[in-house]
């Protein structure tokens, strides 16, 4: 599929600090390490990725809107906005591109304020709790969904 649309991998607030941020929870891999691993896994599966991070909620909304035309599927780790953002929820709802909510940690096993996911209420599915491997599983799921979409 030479002209296949890419998988967008979008990252929210504080994920730029991975590697040094609470490593006992989030691990030692940096976001650059994760980007490289995602690109490699996608390449093996015949897709490219577009990988971005922002601390700004509206920028993530803009990227979700951009992805409506440009992406085959989206891996989204919205960080803390997962639990608070009606705007991200609405942006996902406004799009027919499948979103895989992704987390390094397992929010269901953490503080109560992390148990609600407004992203999850609009997403296709969730992968959480496997550290950096969550991203690789999410990229695999995204490619499968993208290929299904391409056949449909
Ligand atoms: C996180 C979980 C969120 O609750 C938290 O706010 C984050 C990271 C994760 O990947 O485990 O910033 O999305």
Q: Which atom of ligand 1 is nearest to the CA of 80?
A: 6
Contact call for residues 97 and 71 (beta carbons, < 8 A): yes
pLDDT level of residue 149 (50, 70, 90 thresholds): confident
The structure's pTM equals 0.96
pLDDT of residue 1: 57
pLDDT of residue 99: 98
Say if residue 71's pLDDT is above 70. Answer: yes
What Cα–Cα distance (Å) separates residue 75 from each residue in 22, 114, 119?
22, 19, 12
**For all residues of the chain together, what is the average pLDDT?**
96
Return the best residue to mutate from 11, 12, 79 for the ligand 1 pocket (most ligand atoms within 8 A of CB): 79
Ligand 1 center–CA 105 separation, angstroms: 6
- Which burial class, exposed, middle or buried, applies to 8 when counting CB atoms under 10 A from its CB (0-12, 13-18, 19+)? buried
User: 30 or 4: whose pLDDT is higher?
Assistant: 30
């Amino acid at each position: 599929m030479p002209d296949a649309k890419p998988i967008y991998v979008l990252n929210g607030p504080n994920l730029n600090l991975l590697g040094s941020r609470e490593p006992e929870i989030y691990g030692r891999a940096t976001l650059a390490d994760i980007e490289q691993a995602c690109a490699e896994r996608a390449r093996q599966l015949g897709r490219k990725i577009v990988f971005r991070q922002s601390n700004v909620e509206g920028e993530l909304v803009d990227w979700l809107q951009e992805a409506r035309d440009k992406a085959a599927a989206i891996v989204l780790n919205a960080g803390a906005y997962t639990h608070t953002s009606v705007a991200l929820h609405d942006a996902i709802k406004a799009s027919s591109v499948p979103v895989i909510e992704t987390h390094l940690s397992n929010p269901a096993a953490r503080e109560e304020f992390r148990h609600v996911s407004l992203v999850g209420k609009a997403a296709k599915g969730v992968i959480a709790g496997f550290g950096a491997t969550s991203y690789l599983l999410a990229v695999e799921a995204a490619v499968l969904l993208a290929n299904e979409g391409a056949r449909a």
